[in-house]
């Protein structure tokens, strides 16, 4: 029987397709998270009423911040869980090696982040539509308008943030899988830093968030994601495949 | 061409030494039965061949390459046991289509015929299959993948008798149509015996027998008679199994006898019979020469 010598590229493509079947819950959770965040936005819209003599002005604000925040958290946890043990064992049944598995994971994360990017922006429009239906056309509705280039910019920024967060999740995932002790330490430290409002957390966020140059921002995100994925690969290589 | 070569392979898990200095070569296009008791090291050896575990020391070559993290070995090998972890999000038809995508030699018509024969509904999740059904499905996957190296680690766990017979028959028929290297492990030789070309017995992490089935049938001989007489001719170290029928009458299985020894025993009135391979494999893998009877012996 002649031997097959598959290329890395063809294996990565096959594995990425396989992940769409074997990890549908990443997509399902995205939908659920965004539906919940739409509901939160609608319920939690801030409003204020002002009176000017006989004129009474009632203003309702809604922002897409909640959806953005929820989708970012989703991207982080998708990155965190994609290489968990059950998924690794499910990969191992078919043709794989470590490099192809990690590359397929990254390809899958990028593709699902593209989906997340589109649905996130669409969810923003959905909120406006729902408010419009709910309030009716006889009430004033002030919508901020987008130009095509602005919309593309928003899409691009959202995608870069999702990629950054999923790569950080991926790296942390590989660290916590080292051992149970490491897992507890990492989770405790992470939660403590966030809840104590440690200034370093703020510094990290503003390192990306306060960047005014688009080129620098893209550079920072791409380099950070590359380093995070690289770190995850280096850590995962240390451990034996099915142990 | 040898498909598998193990040189001085040892594997330790912590302080537990599972394989000790194992040397094995498996030739292309053969069906080898790997027989051993629970904990003898069968699964560890097979997982190392599939590149799932690295040996602690020694050298393993599969298709003349190191199987660890090796795409070529992975593409040409399938490892099937009763405990394959499939994605809980995939239905059987999705698993089958994935297998078709990954394995170049996959025969989907053959797979579908087996799926129908064994009465599977392909719209269910693998997790919802019973133990025996899951084993059967995994075995179908292993057969239809037609990989040059096919490894079955105790594939029949949980299968009922008739399904086991069907599986062995399907394996043999498909092997004859599409010769490849197949390794199948079991703690029992009984049902496997008829399909094997080679037998490999491992005990306590070392390979104690590795030879063609034909040779194994004459590997040992059973002696029945006065134990004192037998002891005069046959050295204690050559005894594989010993069972006392009465106080001095014994049934003893010994490794091959020379012509003169056979004549000598005949003159002493000791009966000589052949030993069934299944029975012999059980004696060889026993921890003690007397079996469970030793436990009840008052010394």
DSSP code at position B20: E
> How far is residue A82 from each of residues A27, A78, A172, A233, measured CA to CA in Å?
12, 6, 12, 13
pLDDT value of residue A237: 82
Question: A24 CB near a chain B CB, below 8 Å?
Answer: yes
pLDDT at A110 over 90: yes
Closest-CA distance of chain A to residue B238, Å? 39
**Tokens linked to B298:** 């008052």
Flag whether pLDDT at A240 surpasses 60: no
Identify the band that residue B42 occupies on the pLDDT scale cut at 50, 70 and 90: very high
Give residue for tokens 């009135």.
B269
A54 vs B: CB within 8 A: no
Please report the pLDDT score of residue B190 as a whole number. Answer: 84
Alpha-carbon gap: A61 to the closest alpha carbon of chain B (Å): 40
Percent of chain B at pLDDT > 70 equals: 98
Largest CA distance in chain B: 71
* pLDDT over threshold 70, residue A141: no
Does B298 score more than 90 pLDDT?
no
Torsion of CA A93, A96, A101, A105, to 10 degrees: -60
Q: Please list every residue in chain B whose beta carbon sits closer than 8 Å to the beta carbon of residue A243.
A: 53
Q: What is the pLDDT of residue B140?
A: 96
- Read off the pLDDT of each residue in B141-155 and give the average, rounded to a whole number: 95
More confident residue, B293 or B74: B74
Q: Widest CA span of chain A, in angstroms?
A: 91
Residue A71 exposed, middle or buried by CB count within 10 Å (0-12, 13-18, 19+) = buried
Dihedral pair phi/psi, residue A149, rounded to 5°: -65, -35
- Token pair listed for B290: 């007397």
Average pLDDT over residues B207-232: 88
Question: A61 to each of A141, B51, B131, how far by Cα in Å?
Answer: 10, 58, 57
pLDDT digits (tens, 9 = 90+) for A51-78: 777 777 776 666 668 888 999 999 999 9
In angstroms, what separates the C-alpha of B208 from chain A's closest C-alpha?
27
Q: Are B221 and B256 in contact (CB under 8 A)?
A: yes
Q: Tell me whether residues A93 and B84 touch, CB distance under 8 A.
A: yes
> What is the reported pLDDT for A224?
94
Query: Residue A46: pLDDT band by 50, 70, 90 thresholds?
Result: low
Q: Please answer yes or no on whether A87 and B72 come within 8 Å at the CB atom.
A: no
Asked if the C-beta of B75 comes within 8 angstroms of chain A's C-beta atoms, the answer is: yes
- Say yes or no for a CB contact (<8 Å) between A22 and B98: yes
CA–CA separation, B5 and B61 (whole Å): 5
Q: Are the beta carbons of A177 and A238 closer than 8 angstroms?
A: no
**Cα separation, A20 vs A112, whole angstroms:** 9
- Whole-angstrom distance, CA of residue B220 vs CA of residue B277: 9
User: Which residue is listed with tokens 């009632």?
Assistant: A58
Tell whether the model's pLDDT for residue B295 goes beyond 80: no
What CA–CA distance (Å, rounded) separates B87 from A231? 26
Supply the pLDDT for residue A76.
Answer: 95
Share of chain A above pLDDT 90, in %: 45
Range B70-83 average pLDDT: 93
Q: How far does the CA of residue B206 sit from the closest CA of chain A (Å)?
A: 22
Band of the pLDDT at A109, cuts 50, 70, 90?
very high
Average pLDDT over residues B37-62: 91
Antiparallel, parallel or unpaired: β B206-212 and B198-203: antiparallel
Of A23, A89, A95, the CB nearest to B102: A95
Q: Is the pLDDT of residue B147 over 80?
A: yes
DSSP code of residue B172: H
Q: Does residue B225 come out as left (phi exceeding 0), alpha (psi in the -120 to 50 range) or beta?
A: left
pLDDT for the residue numbered A149: 86
Interface residue of A25, A94, A101, A240 to substitute, partner B, most B CBs within 10 Å: A94
Q: How confident is the model at residue A45 (pLDDT cuts 50, 70, 90)?
A: low
Mean pLDDT of chain B: 90
Torsion (CA) B125, B131, B134, B140 in degrees, nearest 10 = -160
- Residue B93 pLDDT exceeds 90: yes
Phi, psi (deg, nearest 5) at residue A132: -60, -45
Query: Chain B, 173-232: which have a CB under 8 Å from a chain A CB?
Result: 178-180
Query: In order of start, what are the domains of chain B with their CATH numbers?
Result: 2-216 (3.40.50.300), 219-289 (3.30.70)
Q: Is the pLDDT of residue A241 over 50?
A: no
A234 touches chain B (CB under 8 A): no
Pairwise CA distance, residues A63 & A41, whole Å: 7
Minimum CA–CA partner of B94 in chain A: A21
DSSP E strand stretches across chain B = 2-13, 16-27, 31-35, 57-62, 77-81, 149-153, 181-186, 198-203, 206-212, 220-226, 239-244, 249-255, 271-274
pLDDT band at A242 (very low <50, low <70, confident <90, very high): very low
pLDDT in the model for residue A151: 86
Cβ proximity of B70 and B50 under 8 Å: no
pLDDT recorded at residue B292: 72
- Shortest distance between the Cα of B184 and any Cα of chain A, in A, equals 17
Q: What average pLDDT does this structure show over B101-120? A: 95
pLDDT surpassing 80 at residue B195 = yes
pTM of the model: 0.87
Q: In which band, very low, low, confident or very high, does the pLDDT at B24 lie, cut at 50, 70 and 90?
A: very high
Q: Closest approach of chain B CAs to the CA of A238, in angstroms?
A: 12
Cα(A98)–Cα(B214) distance, rounded to whole angstroms?
A: 42
Angle value at C-alpha A86, between A81 and A92, nearest 5 degrees: 115
* Beta-carbon separation of B71 and A100 below 8 A: yes
Higher pLDDT: A107 or A128? It is: A107
Task: Please list every residue in chain B whose beta carbon sits closer than 8 Å to the beta carbon of residue A8.
Answer: 71
pLDDT at B265: 85
> A12: which 2 tokens?
């990565």
Q: What is the pLDDT of residue A112?
A: 95
Q: What is the 3-state secondary structure (H, E, C) of chain A?
A: CCCCCCCHHHHHHHHHHHHHHHCCHHHHHHHHHHHHHHHHHHHCCEEEEEEECCEEEEEEECCCHHHHHHHHHHHHHHHHHCCCHHHHHHHHCCCCCHHHHHHHHHHHHHHHHHHHHHHHHHHHHHHHHHHHHHHCCCCCCCCCCCCHHHHHHHHHHHHHHHHHHHHHHHHHHHHHCCCHHHHHHHHHHHHHHHHCCCHHHHHHHHHHHCCCCHHHHHHHHHHHHHHHHHHHHHHHHHCCCCC
The dihedral over CA atoms of A28, A30, A31, A34, expressed in degrees to the nearest 10, equals 160
**Is B74 at the interface with chain A, CB within 8 A?**
yes
Q: Residue B291: pLDDT above 80? A: no
Instruction: Point out the least confidently predicted range of A182-186, B101-105, B263-267.
Output: B263-267
Instruction: Give pLDDT, residue A79.
Output: 95
| A2, A94, A241: residue with CB nearest B99 | A94
* Interface check A148 vs B, CB under 8 A: no
Average pLDDT, chain A: 86
Cβ within 8 Å, pair A97-B94 = no
Assess whether pLDDT exceeds 90 at residue B225.
Answer: no
Indicate whether B299 pLDDT > 60.
Answer: no
Long-range contacts (CB closer than 8 Å, 24 or more residues apart) made by A45-52:
A45/A131
The arithmetic mean of pLDDT across residues B73-87, rounded, is 92
């Amino acid at each position: 029987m002649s031997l097959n010598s598959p290329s890395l590229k063809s294996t990565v493509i096959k594995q990425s397709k396989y992940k769409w079947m074997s990890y549908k819950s990443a997509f399902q959770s995205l939908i659920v998270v965004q539906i919940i965040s739409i509901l939160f936005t609608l319920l939690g819209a801030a409003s204020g009423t002002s009176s000017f003599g006989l004129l009474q002005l009632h203003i309702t604000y809604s922002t897409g911040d909640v959806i953005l925040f929820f989708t970012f958290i989703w991207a982080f946890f998708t990155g965190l869980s994609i290489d968990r043990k059950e998924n690794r064992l499910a990969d191992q049944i078919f043709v794989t090696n470590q490099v192809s598995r990690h590359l397929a994971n990254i390809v899958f994360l990028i593709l699902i982040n593209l989906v997340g990017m589109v649905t996130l922006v669409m969810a923003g429009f959905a909120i406006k539509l729902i408010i419009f239906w709910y309030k009716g056309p006889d009430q004033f509705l002030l919508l901020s308008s987008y130009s095509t280039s602005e919309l593309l910019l928003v899409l691009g920024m959202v995608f870069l943030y999702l990629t950054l967060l999923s790569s950080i999740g991926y790296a942390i995932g590989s660290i916590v899988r080292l051992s149970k002790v490491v897992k507890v330490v990492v989770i405790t430290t992470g939660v403590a830093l966030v809840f104590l409002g440690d200034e370093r957390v703020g510094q990290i966020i503003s390192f990306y968030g306060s960047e005014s140059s688009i080129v620098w921002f893209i550079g920072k995100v791409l380099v950070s994601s590359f380093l995070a994925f690289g770190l995850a690969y280096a850590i995962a290589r240390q451990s034996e495949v099915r142990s | 061409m040898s498909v598998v070569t193990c040189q001085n392979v040892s594997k330790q898990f912590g302080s537990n030494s599972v394989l000790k200095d194992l040397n094995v070569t498996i030739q292309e296009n053969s069906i080898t039965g790997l027989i051993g008791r629970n904990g003898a090291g069968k699964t560890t050896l097979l997982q190392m061949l599939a590149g799932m575990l690295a040996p602690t020391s020694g050298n393993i070559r599969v298709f003349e390459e190191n199987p660890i993290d090796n795409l070529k070995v992975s593409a040409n090998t399938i490892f099937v046991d009763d405990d394959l972890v499939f994605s809980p999000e995939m239905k059987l038809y999705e698993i089958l289509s994935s297998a078709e995508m990954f394995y170049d030699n996959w025969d989907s018509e053959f797979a579908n015929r087996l799926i129908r024969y064994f009465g599977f509904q392909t719209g269910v999740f693998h997790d919802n299959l019973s133990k025996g059904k899951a084993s059967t499905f995994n075995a179908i996957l292993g057969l239809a993948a037609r990989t040059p190296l096919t490894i079955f680690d105790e594939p029949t766990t949980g299968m009922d008798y008739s399904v086991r017979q069907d599986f062995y028959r399907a394996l043999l028929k498909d092997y004859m149509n599409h010769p490849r290297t197949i390794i199948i492990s079991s703690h029992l030789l009984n049902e496997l015996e008829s399909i094997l070309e080679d037998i490999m017995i491992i005990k306590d992490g070392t390979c104690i027998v590795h030879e063609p089935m034909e040779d194994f049938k004459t590997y040992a001989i059973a002696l029945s008679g006065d134990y004192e007489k037998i002891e005069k001719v046959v050295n204690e170290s050559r005894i594989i199994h010993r069972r006392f029928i009465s106080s001095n009458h014994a049934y003893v299985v010994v490794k091959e006898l020379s012509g003169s020894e056979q004549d000598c025993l005949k003159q002493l009135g000791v009966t000589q019979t052949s030993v069934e391979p299944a029975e012999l494999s059980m004696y060889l893998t026993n921890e003690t020469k007397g079996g469970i009877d030793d436990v009840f012996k008052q010394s």
